Amino acid sequence: MGDVLVQAVSLVAIIGLGFTVKRIGWVSVAHFPVLATIVLRITLPAAIITGFNDFDLTWALLSLAVVGLVANVVQQGTGMVMGRRRGREAQAFGVLNIGSYNMGAFAMPYLAGFMGPQALVLAALFDVGNAVAAAGIGYAWALGLVTGEGRVGFGTFLRTMLRSTIFVTYLVMVPLRLLDLSLPGPVVELTATIGAANTFLAMFMIGVGLELRLSRAKYRQALTYLVVRYGYAVVFALGTWLLLPVDTEVKVVLCMVFFAPIAAMAPGYTAEARGDVELSTFMTSVTIIVGMVTMPVVLAVLG
């Protein structure tokens, strides 16, 4: 319990450092995309490669990707139903902002800090399904709603997925490990060095991007969406702990992940879907704060 609290305070302190340097003017929110690019396209893929390279991957563990996919789609469907009386744009907002999990910029470095590279790989497997659902299905679903087309072509779906460096990293590493193939030693040494910077950069980036500003009229709407999201988190965690036939370590990782923040890409996708970006950004920021508290608590209780 003590070690968990120390690690949690350390990670929160890095987030606080990012927020502080933004407030004193050393960096600004305008730097957030640069930091996000470094994390999501360089340090996190390197950390995933390093973790995967020695991981004993089995077909059974790929079921974690299915869990990530199903958890997202269930929440996306609920979000669409919640907005049905307020038009297609509200439905698209629900699809994009109730489900999805910020794995690369939050959950993975958080888990790696608490539980080591093994937990990062387990979370990465979950993120395969999460990425397909959030960056593929949810994105296409939301755009289809606001354009009135009802769907987006498979080509658009595929191009969206292949623009994600993290997803491409999965496409390479998962087959390699299923075939029990490893990368050369010098390559892994390079990725290990680069990936070692991921936890600090990801937490610092979150601090730089953290915003909690919203007009009073929208607080109730945000609360409604967040109550539904965390209601699902509790249900998914209980179902995982009581029903899923996997090792305890896997259960703990999944239960923590269900309380991870909304994906950082949600506000951007919301803008493309002509949704309420201010509300989306606020919800994303609130879930970061909730995640900082609940994820180590889940580990302390279940671990």
Number of domains in the chain: 1
- For position 85, what pLDDT does the model report? 84
- For position 3, what pLDDT does the model report? 63
- For position 210, what pLDDT does the model report? 76
- For position 2, what pLDDT does the model report? 60
In a domain? residue 300: no
**Long-range contacts of residues 23-32, Cβ cutoff 8 Å, at least 24 apart:** 27/208, 28/208, 29/208, 29/209, 29/211, 31/208, 32/205, 32/208, 32/209
In a domain? residue 301: no
**What are the strands, taking DSSP E only, across 219-272?**
none
In a domain? residue 226: yes
In a domain? residue 266: yes
CATH code for position 65? 1.20.1530.20
Q: What are phi and psi of 55, to 5 degrees?
A: -85, 135
Distances (CA, A) of 303 to 124, 256, 295: 19, 10, 11
Angle at which helices 108-115 and 44-53 pack, to 10 degrees?
50
What is the sign of the dihedral through the CA atoms of 66, 154, 42 and 104? negative
Domain residues for 182? 2-294
What is the sign of the dihedral through the CA atoms of 266, 270, 271 and 272? positive
Cα distance between residue 15 and residue 293, in whole Å: 13
In a domain? residue 152: yes
- For position 54, what pLDDT does the model report? 76
In a domain? residue 216: yes
In a domain? residue 56: yes
- Contact between 226 and 79 under an 8 Å Cβ cutoff? The reply is no
In a domain? residue 303: no
Q: With a cut of 50, which residues of the chain have pLDDT below it? A: none
Cα distance between residue 59 and residue 99, in whole Å: 26
Q: What is the pTM for the complete model shown?
A: 0.80
- At 238-291, the pLDDT tens digits run 999 999 888 899 999 999 999 999 987 788 788 888 888 888 878 988 898 899
